[in-house]
Amino acid sequence: MNSNIPQHVAIIPDGNRRWARKHGLPRLRGHEVGAERMFQTIEHLMNSGVRFVTVWGFSTDNWKRQEDEISSLFRLVDIWIRKNADWAQEHKIQLRYIGRLQELPLNLQEVIQKAVTLTENNDRLVLNLAFNYSGRTEIIDAVNKLLAEHPANPVDEKIFSHHLYTGGVPDVDLVIRTAGEFRISNFMLWQTAYAEFYFSPVWWPDFDIAEVDKALAAYSKRERRLGGDG
pLDDT at 229: 54
Query: Across the strands, what pairs with 109?
Result: none
Q: Which amino acid is at 184?
A: I
Q: What domains, with CATH codes, occur in the chain? A: 8-134+170-220 (3.40.1180.10)
pLDDT at 137: 97
pLDDT at 111: 97
Which residues of the chain register pLDDT less than 50? 1
Q: Is 62 a catalytic residue?
A: yes
pLDDT at 1: 44
Contact 196, 223 (CB under 8 A): no
N- to C-terminal Cα separation, the chain:
23
Catalytic residue among 2, 4, 14, 78: 14
pLDDT at 153: 80
Catalytic residue among 62, 122, 186, 206: 62
Contact 31, 48 (CB under 8 A): no
Residues whose CB is less than 8 angstroms from the CB of residue 21 and which lie 6 or more positions away in sequence, other chains included:
27, 30
Q: Is 186 a catalytic residue?
A: no
